[in-house]
Chains A and B, each alone.
Chain A
Amino acid sequence: MTTLTASRQRYLPIIATFALLVGAYGFGAAQYEAFASGQVVLNILIDNAFLLVVAIGMTFVILTGGIDLSVGAVVALSTLVSARLLAAGVSPLVVLVLVLVIGGTLGLGMGAVIHYFELQPFIVTLAGMFLARGLCYTISVESISITDGFFTTMAQTPVSLPGGMHVSTSVVIAVIVLAVAAYVLHFTRLGRTVYAIGGSEQSAMLMGLPVARTKITVYAISGLCSALGGVLLAFYTLSGNALHAVGMELDAIAAVVIGGTILTGGTGYVLGTVLGVLVLGIIQTLITFDGTLSSWWTKIVIGALLFVFIVLQRLVSRRAR
């Protein structure tokens, strides 16, 4: 009996997010005829594929009880490195690999500093954020457009779905990342160790789990996801710009939290993060459809939602106790 309610409570935040998503979609469909088409939902995915990938990486970090503020800056750095190298005629494949290596290495470095010097992830990744954002300006202070054939193909080729609907290749990549992330979190030792560290780092250590390796790995994963997110953003905008993705770390954190992952770690699902990203996207779309509201209403609604969700999580965890 008690176990039943306890496990049901674990899903409560994710169910709430799903209900919100359905509610928002229902509201939109009732208000605007065009909203009812499935393509609207797919467009949300298309417009937010890069955010989804970044937020998935963030989920790993937050599940251990950490935080990564550098993701937006790493995204921007990745778009610029791609644009600059492509402009110099480097093969797109080499560019891709290089960008991913840079992102992963940055994350790895931050993770190592956090673990071995026992520093707060907040401050270390804040430093990483300034570093990456600053590096952007050493590459170029202006926007560099991308004209490479591979990138434009990736950007412009739709992937057809049944029913006359379509998504972008970025969405396909994001969904693959999602599947891999869910697999890793639920079916590998690394994933379960991530949850264990979030539950109690001290216990995880005393249980003989590889705490050091895992903590460093999650920041590397986040760095890697940010780099990939940057590549997807480059597909989406076909440009590299130091001003890309300003504040995206906060959108990613918001998506993760609205998706039911608790900031202190140990509880949450990567699927929730998808729902969180979709909620952010649908609010944006609703406000666009309305046409009379200014875009900052998106921020106001997201702010209000965040409040509601953190309070909800607190209530759930209090009752579970």
Chain B
Amino acid sequence: MVLRMTGIRKRFPGVVALDDVDFRLLPGEVHALMGENGAGKSTLIKVLTGVYGVDAGEIELAGEPVSFTGPAAAQRAGVSTVYQEVNLCPNLSIAENILLGREPRRFGRIRWAPMRRRAEELLARLDLELDVSAPLSAQSIAVQQLVAIARALDVDARVLVLDEPTSSLDSHEVDRLLAVMRTLRDEGMAILFVTHFIDQVFAISDRMTVLRNGKLVGEYETAEITPVELVTRMIGKELATLDELEQVRPERTVREELLRAEEVGRAGGIEPFSLGIQRGEVVGLAGLLGSGRTELARLLFGADHADQGTIRVDDKPVSLRTPRAAIARGIAFCSENRKTEGLVEDLTVRENIALAVQASRGWTKPLSRKRQEEIAESSIKALDIRPANPEAKVGELSGGNQQKVLLARWLITEPRLLILDEPTRGIDIGAKTEIQKLVTRLAAEGMAVVFISAELEEVLRLSDRVLVLRDRQVVAQLDNDALTPEQIMATIADGGAE
């Protein structure tokens, strides 16, 4: 056994993140760590990699008890980690990102040529051929992810931890990553794999450990468990299946138009497009990463301003030059970067939720503490935010719960058009279902929703109409009459030529 963690306990102010958790990892296996948001997966990884200390419990690496003082110590001991948000330096070259801190040197002088060769060798192991002296910032997220893995490989790693490595990759890139994982496993590496994609878990893992609410649920052989059993163990109750959503979706009737964009575009952002959105309609945006989905949404929200075209709201021309102007017309935007563009991590759940209301009231009419608490309590209840503590710092919440806080903040301003950019990325299936149900409910109540997601199934399940984007251009607008993901993929592939 390469790694054994026993009786791990980790407490944060107000929350027990890990409660007597055991975990073991064998060499030459891919071991999936499963659980909903807030189940303690990230905390367990951070404990393992030395970012957090433990309150109780023991970690043994290859039979030796260890206690890491930080990521550097963990790395030296052979535990390498690739984090969900790629933690590399975009300003440096690919070679440096792979080898920084372990550069080949002679008398303290970095030898660039051997360093580049070594980087190329490591990338070749991942079947990747790149100009290693180019800056990392020029590469796609997928390549950056692989570079991070190449870095992890260079250390004499016995344990490779992959925290949500596939959440921003397309399916082709995922296949490539899984192939790399198989190769490494066959070489005897122990891989700890965290993901929310259940199909990937069944495609690659040998065993899995399930956590729930900071407690160990169990350890299972992948071959001996079904996806439904796994999900049931993760959420602790029978999963209300997603199929129910189909019935929830009400019949559509002709309704008044809320927003119309005519030939709106922005040079370098997105080619001019036209789009009408009706009340109570869900418009899905489908397209690959970088196809212009976010850029389109930002134009509608005024986060970027269009350099051509007109936007009409309620049949009146409006100038959406700033988010403030858009908010004033009832448009809300949940950004895909919830960490950097949406939430203030150091503020509490209550304060974050109150922010948007306060902004719409203006600073001369402060919101009373009592009112803030009421709003926060009702949002926490409505969206099942966990922990159900309005005074918890948002930065300490899991990804899915942060997303809910962000949603709550916009919902209490009662927007008429809600733009959701990747609201379900990196969150677990339970929270995902809740958010999808919420979208359907809001639309039924008359709210217009623009829904952006990399998962086509999800877009199709929710949308009345789908805009297909490719290369920063809207290539097709399709009514969702039993559309299939294959049809959308075909439209993306042929650029809507038909």
Contact = CB atoms under 8 A, between A and B. Distances in A.
Given A195-B91, A209-B101, 16 more contacts: A3-B134, A6-B135, A6-B137, A7-B133, A7-B135, A7-B138, A188-B108, A192-B110, A196-B96, A198-B91, A199-B92, A202-B87, A206-B81, A207-B100, A207-B101, A320-B137
Contacts of A210: 72
Contact of B83 (A3, A6, A206): A206
Interface in B84-103: 87-92, 96, 100-101, 103
- The number of chain B residues touching the other chain, given as a range, is 20 to 34
Interface in A197-232: 198-200, 202-210
Contacts of B151: 207
B131 interface: yes
24 contacts: A3-B131, A3-B134, A6-B138, A7-B134, A189-B103, A192-B103, A192-B110, A193-B100, A193-B101, A196-B92, A196-B100, A199-B89, A200-B87, A203-B88, A203-B89, A204-B89, A205-B70, A206-B83, A207-B101, A208-B71, A208-B101, A266-B89, A320-B137, A320-B138
Indicate the member of A187, A193, A208 with the most B CB atoms within 10 Å.
A208
A195 B89 contact: yes
A266 B97 CA distance: 13
Q: Which 4 A-B pairs have the closest CB atoms?
A: A199-B89, A208-B72, A3-B134, A199-B91
A189 B135 contact: no
Contacts of A266: 89, 91-92
Given A187-B110, A192-B110, A207-B100, A10 B135 contact: yes
A196 B103 CA distance: 13
Nearest to B109: A187
B108 A2 contact: no
Contacts of A186: 110
A198 B109 CA distance: 21
Given A199-B89, A200-B89, A200-B90, A192 B96 contact: yes
A155 B83 CA distance: 56
Indicate the member of B71, B100, B105 with the most A CB atoms within 10 Å.
B100
A10 B91 CA distance: 9
Contacts of A10: 135
B75 interface: yes
A267 interface: yes
B462 to A, nearest CB: 30
Given A3-B138, A207-B151, A208-B72, A199 B90 contact: yes
B88 A195 contact: no
Contacts of A206: 51, 71, 81, 83, 87
Chain B interface main SS type: loop
A192 B100 contact: yes
Nearest to A1: B138
Interface of A: 2-3, 6-7, 10, 186-189, 192-193, 195-196, 198-200, 202-210, 266-267, 320-321
Nearest to A265: B91
A205 B135 contact: no
Nearest to A264: B91
Interface string B59-75: 00000000000111001
Interface string B353-394: 000000000000000000000000000000000000000000
A233 to B, nearest CB: 31
A205 B72 CA distance: 8
Contacts of A6: 134-135, 137-138
A196 B134 CA distance: 15
A192 B87 contact: no
Contact of A208 (B75, B88, B89, B96): B75
A188 B115 CA distance: 13
A209 B100 contact: yes
Given A188-B109, A189-B101, A209-B100, A196 B89 contact: yes
Contacts of A188: 108-110
Contacts of B96: 192, 196
A189 B110 contact: yes
Interface string B454-474: 000000000000000000000
Contacts of A2: 138
Contacts of A189: 101, 103, 105, 108, 110
A196 B90 CA distance: 9
B284 to A, nearest CB: 26
Contacts of B100: 192-193, 196, 207, 209
Contacts of A196: 89, 92, 96, 100
B320 to A, nearest CB: 21
B80 to A, nearest CB: 9
A154 to B, nearest CB: 30
Nearest to A319: B268
Contacts of B90: 199-200
A192 B99 CA distance: 11
Interface in B120-172: 131, 133-135, 137-138, 151
A42 B135 CA distance: 36
A314 to B, nearest CB: 15
Contacts of A3: 131, 134-135, 138
B92 A195 contact: yes
A159 to B, nearest CB: 28
A187 B96 CA distance: 12
A203 B87 contact: yes
Nearest to B94: A3
B404 to A, nearest CB: 25
A188 to B, nearest CB: 6
Contacts of A7: 133-135, 138
Given A207-B101, A208-B71, A209-B101, A192 B92 contact: yes
Contacts of B109: 187-188
A3 B134 CA distance: 6
Nearest to B75: A208
A190 to B, nearest CB: 9
Contacts of B101: 189, 193, 207-209
A32 B133 CA distance: 45
Nearest to B51: A206
B20 to A, nearest CB: 27
B49 to A, nearest CB: 8
B374 to A, nearest CB: 35
Contacts of B70: 205, 208
Contacts of A200: 87-90
A203 B97 CA distance: 10
Nearest to B80: A208
Contacts of B134: 3, 6-7
Contacts of A192: 92, 96, 100, 103, 110
A8 B90 CA distance: 15
Interface in B276-333: none
Nearest to B76: A208
